[in-house]
């Protein structure tokens, strides 16, 4: 029989270092069923036995505050793991043992790893693991996760099956002291032996803490009659969580008493940290470092982007070969213009995702991300969010897909949904190519004014959107303020970062390929005509028929189609414009050639100048800029939020807003020019 | 005296934590409970309050800090 262990610990406790060291290449990343929480699994061999490892999400406690914590608790209670390895950071032992204190009372075998013993020693702390072990009744192992040479004790302990769970009798005494008779009163109503692995003591604490999941569990078990009796007692207990919290820390103190000698001093803040959190210099420093990270993302992603932009160029020779072999032109269009181009777009975009997850993962890993959140907290509060939400906005300047997966750091679903909805205002990297080109064709240096106007409207848009969706999405209870650890600075682990980047890239590529292939096949079919003249295709005819309507927004048939086409991939707008105006190729073919050959725009420039008026050009630019991000970003948002309703509601809102802004800009511009 | 009124560089002790059960659960899990001793590292308007408690640097929302009653420890 194979055995399994689970790694449990607070963020920055060294859990993932241990996980990577144990499992090496034998890893698998998935999602916990029904949740957007990453599930990391792996395995290793020890003395001929295969041991499975689950890396549980890093959370501060086992309360049901977030999906991560619920997933963690359910997994432990399911007893799939033979042993739960609880990690604590020895350099912050008291606080990081809170996880153990929250675990105490769960009757699943566990052992305690006192990680970062080396750091603790440098700080002048002397920790006696044997004494702690005696008090807890479980194995306690001094540990340094970075140093594989000292894994022996851990490996031999974990492979010999552990049977003991932490002794919680002293914790129970603390509860009795704090809550008096009420402890016994509650336990009398609870099943004598607890529920499953949860002891009455653990359930008592969770009930007093008003933990909704635990309350439901108890109600289902004892029936509503007894539960209302229980509720009567519980309603008489105020400030439950801080009181049980005090008990838990009293228990931790009792365990550490006589086992820890601390001759160290308090916090020593580096000069850098003072600057990073300073009121005057914190923001400029953060902006500079984030700009650096954006540039770094693009540099890391360049190999994939180049590969991606090279692929469409190969479409033409393949198409010629197929035509020569006698394939039907429609089939060739779909295959070469449609699918082939799609692969190129998807690859280029996922290249950026790879770069961004390394660059921003780096900021997170060295500990700087928390400082960025700290200095931008006040700004984000104005949008109903808090400092941790700043990252999705920054990532969106590269690509909105990276932005939406960046919201995972937020506490609640509604905060995530709101942050994504707002981050869609941020224009991605591809937007600028189109705005820059068309803007400068029509306005020369005046394009700066156009862009400044776009920024001004963006700020307004952000404000309106936060009001529109904030009111519905963020109830007062969801508007939680920041509670954030500013971790000590660490050295990054490049191997783990690169691995994570590749996983993210694969995920994005897979999803993007499906979406973009479907769309591009549809688009190439709709814009196909025997003669090659766009106006004779289905799309062309529809476009012309509804032009009287779209002209209200200042969009002609061609610019309207380009606006729609840009939803597939933002840079695609230029290609669509070229093809619809030049009347000599299909929309998809144009997308392909624009992508592979973005510099050769002179023909397009001449075409545009004669075909569009200035107000029309402005209207298109604003409709394009404020439209929802591409469909790949939509699909990523759907994946992250798991809410069709809200994702499509937000998408519809953006489409309407972009047309509205275009209409206003057009009619005002008509008065000026 | 609530936490927003605590002076930079001083040492204090938490007397009580108010707010909703959710808030209490969240703040307890980072180690801030009644009786906990802390140092005020940074306390400026328009920035979260920065304290050092149980060997950890923690940033707390200003308006939330009004729910945390503290006393000065010499």
Q: Of the candidates A135, A159, A183, which is a domain's last residue?
A: A159
DSSP for A336-387, please give it. Answer: IIIIIHHHHHHHHHHHHHHHHHHHHHHHHHHT-HHHHHHHHHHHHHTTT--G
Instruction: Give A570-585 pLDDT, tens digit per residue.
Output: 877 877 777 677 654 4
Question: What SS3 state is found at A65?
Answer: coil
Q: Of the candidates A262, A279, A296, which is a domain's last residue?
A: A262
User: What ipTM, to 2 d.p.?
Assistant: 0.95
Q: Does A590 score more than 50 pLDDT? A: yes
Residue A237 included in any domain: yes
Q: Does A110 score more than 90 pLDDT? A: yes
DSSP for A284-334, please give it. Answer: HHHHHHHHHHHHHHHHHHHHHHHHHHHTGGGHHHHHHHHHHTT--HHHHII
Q: How far does the CA of residue B6 sit from the closest CA of chain A (Å)?
A: 18
Shared-domain flag, residues A31 and A128: yes
List, in order of start, the domains of chain B with CATH numbers. Answer: 3-72 (2.30.30.90)
Q: How far does the CA of residue A413 sit from the closest CA of chain B (Å)?
A: 15
Residue A56 included in any domain: yes
Shared-domain flag, residues A101 and A191: no
Shared-domain flag, residues A126 and A16: yes
Split at pLDDT 50, 70, 90, the class of A598 is very low
Shared-domain flag, residues A99 and A175: no
Total Cβ atoms within 10 A of residue A528: 23
Residue A33 included in any domain: yes
**Chain B: residue whose CA lies nearest to A125:** B55
Q: How far is CA A670 from CA A75, A451, A454, A618, in A?
A: 63, 19, 18, 10
pLDDT at A312: 66
Residues on chain A touching B57 (C-beta within 8 angstroms): 267, 485-487
Shared-domain flag, residues A100 and A185: no
Among A3-12, A308-317, A472-481, A557-566, the range with the most confident prediction by mean pLDDT is A3-12
Shared-domain flag, residues A149 and A182: no
pLDDT at A319: 77
Shared-domain flag, residues A33 and A150: yes
Shared-domain flag, residues A185 and A130: no
Please report, for the domain that includes residue A152, its CATH number.
Answer: 3.40.50.300
Selected for mutation to probe chain A from B38, B55, B68, B69 (highest A CB count within 10 Å) is B55
8 Å CB contact of B25 and A375: no
Instruction: Give A187-231 pLDDT, tens digit per residue.
Output: 999 999 999 999 999 999 999 999 999 999 999 999 999 999 999
Among A93-102, A501-510, A607-616, the range with the most confident prediction by mean pLDDT is A93-102
Shared-domain flag, residues A124 and A67: yes
Q: Of the candidates A159, A179, A194, which is a domain's last residue?
A: A159
- Region of poorest pLDDT, from A317-331, A357-371, A448-462, A643-657: A317-331
Contact B28, A245 (CB under 8 A): yes
Residue A204 included in any domain: yes
Instruction: Give A117-136 pLDDT, tens digit per residue.
Output: 988 888 888 899 999 999 99
Q: How far does the CA of residue A388 sit from the closest CA of chain B (Å)?
A: 11
pLDDT at A32: 84
Residue A18 included in any domain: yes
Shared-domain flag, residues A195 and A245: yes
Contact A561, A620 (CB under 8 A): no
pTM: 0.85
Instruction: Give A407-421 pLDDT, tens digit per residue.
Output: 888 878 888 999 999
Closest Cα partner for A394 from A360, A443, A364? A360
**Chain B: residue whose CA lies nearest to A62:** B29
Residue A7 included in any domain: yes
8 Å CB contact of B29 and A482: no
Residue A664 included in any domain: no
Please state the domain count of chain A.
2
8 Å CB contact of B31 and A249: yes
Q: Greatest CA separation found in chain A?
A: 90
Instruction: Give B6-33 pLDDT, tens digit per residue.
Output: 999 999 999 999 988 889 999 999 999 9
Residues on chain B touching A484 (C-beta within 8 angstroms): 48, 58-59
Provide the domain limits for residue A37: 3-159
pLDDT mean over A156-162: 88
Order of strands across the sheet with B37-42? A483-485, B56-60, B49-53, B37-42, B11-17, B68-72
8 Å CB contact of A483 and B58: yes
Report residue A492 as tokens: 């990054």
Strands B49-53 and B37-42, sheet pairing: antiparallel
8 Å CB contact of A211 and B64: no
Q: How far is CA A637 from CA A355, A422, B70, in A?
A: 19, 12, 43
Shared-domain flag, residues A39 and A144: yes
Shared-domain flag, residues A175 and A89: no
B 44-63 → A contacts, CB under 8 A = 44, 46-48, 50, 52-63
Residue A639 included in any domain: no
């Amino acid at each position: 029989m194979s055995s399994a262990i689970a790694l449990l610990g607070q963020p920055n406790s060294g859990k993932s270092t241990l996980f990577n060291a144990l499992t090496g290449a034998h890893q698998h990343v998935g999602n916990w069923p029904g949740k957007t929480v990453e599930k990391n699994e792996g395995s290793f061999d020890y003395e001929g036995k295969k041991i499975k490892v689950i890396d549980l999400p890093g959370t501060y406690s086992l309360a049901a505050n977030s999906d991560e914590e619920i997933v963690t608790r359910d997994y432990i209670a399911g007893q799939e793991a033979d042993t739960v390895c609880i990690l604590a950071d020895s350099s912050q032992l008291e606080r990081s043992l809170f996880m153990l204190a929250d675990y105490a009372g769960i009757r699943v075998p566990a052992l305690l790893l006192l990680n970062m013993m080396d750091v603790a020693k440098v700080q002048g702390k002397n920790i006696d693991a044997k004494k702690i072990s005696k008090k807890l009744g479980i194995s306690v192992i001094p540990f340094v996760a970075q140093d594989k040479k000292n894994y022996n004790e851990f490996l031999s302990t974990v492979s010999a099956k552990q049977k003991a769970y932490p002794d919680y009798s002293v914790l129970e005494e603390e509860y009795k002291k704090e809550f008096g008779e009420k402890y016994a009163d509650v336990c009398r109503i609870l099943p004598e032996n607890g529920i499953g692995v949860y002891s009455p003591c653990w359930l008592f604490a969770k009930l007093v803490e008003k933990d909704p999941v635990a309350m439901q569990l108890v109600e289902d078990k004892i029936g509503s009659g007894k539960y209302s009796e229980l509720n009567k007692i519980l309603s008489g207990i105020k400030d439950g969580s801080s009181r049980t919290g005090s008990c838990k820390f009293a228990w931790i103190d009792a365990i550490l008493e006589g086992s820890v000698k601390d001759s160290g001093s308090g916090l020593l803040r580096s000069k850098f940290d003072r600057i990073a959190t300073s009121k005057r210099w914190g923001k400029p420093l953060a902006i500079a470092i984030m700009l650096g990270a954006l540039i770094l993302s693009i540099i890391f992603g360049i190999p994939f982007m180049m590969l991606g932009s090279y692929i469409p160029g190969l479409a033409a020779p393949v198409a010629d070969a197929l035509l020569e072999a006698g394939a039907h032109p429609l089939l060739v269009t779909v295959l070469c213009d449609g699918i082939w181009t799609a692969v190129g777009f998807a690859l280029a975009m996922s290249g950026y995702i790879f770069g961004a997850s390394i660059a921003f993962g780096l900021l997170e890993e060295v500990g700087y991300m928390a400082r960025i959140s700290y200095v931008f907290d006040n700004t984000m509060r104005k949008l109903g969010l808090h400092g941790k939400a700043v990252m999705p906005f920054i990532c969106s300047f590269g690509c909105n897909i990276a932005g939406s997966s960046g919201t995972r750091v937020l506490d609640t679903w509604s905060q995530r949904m709101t942050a994504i909805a707002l981050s869609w205002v941020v224009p991605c990297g591809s937007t600028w190519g189109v705005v820059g080109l068309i803007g400068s064709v029509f306005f020369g240096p005046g394009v700066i004014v156009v862009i400044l106007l776009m920024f001004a409207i963006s700020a307004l848009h952000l404000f309106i959107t936060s009001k529109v969706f904030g009111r519905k999405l963020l109830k007062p209870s969801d508007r939680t303020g920041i509670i954030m650890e500013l971790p000590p600075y660490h050295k990054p682990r490049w191997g783990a970062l690169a691995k994570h980047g590749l996983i993210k890239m694969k995920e994005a590529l897979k999803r993007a390929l499906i979406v973009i292939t479907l769309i591009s096949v549809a688009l190439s079919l709709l814009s196909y005509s025997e003669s090659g003249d766009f106006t004779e295709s289905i799309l062309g005819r529809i476009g012309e028929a509804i032009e009287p309507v779209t002209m209200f927004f200042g969009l002609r048939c061609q610019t309207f189609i380009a606006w729609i086409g840009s939803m597939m991939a933002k840079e695609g707008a230029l290609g669509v414009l070229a093809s619809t105006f030049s009347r000599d190729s299909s929309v998809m073919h144009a997308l392909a050639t624009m992508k592979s050959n973005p510099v050769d725009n002179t023909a397009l420039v001449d075409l545009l100048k004669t075909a569009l008026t200035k107000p029309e050009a402005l209207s298109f630019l604003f409709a394009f800029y404020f439209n929802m991000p591409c469909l790949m970003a939509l699909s990523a948002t759907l994946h992250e939020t798991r809410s069709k309703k809200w994702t499509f509601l937000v998408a519809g809102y953006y489409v309407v807003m972009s047309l509205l802004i275009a209409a206003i800009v057009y009619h005002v511009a008509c008065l000026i020019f | 005296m609530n936490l927003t009124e605590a002076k930079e560089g001083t040492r204090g002790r938490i007397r009580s934590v108010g707010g909703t059960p959710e808030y209490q659960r969240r703040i307890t899990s980072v180690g801030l409970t009644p009786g906990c001793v802390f140092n005020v590292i940074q306390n400026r308007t328009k920035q979260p309050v920065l304290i050092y408690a149980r060997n950890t640097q923690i940033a707390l929302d200003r308006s939330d800090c009004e729910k945390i009653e503290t006393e000065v420890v010499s």
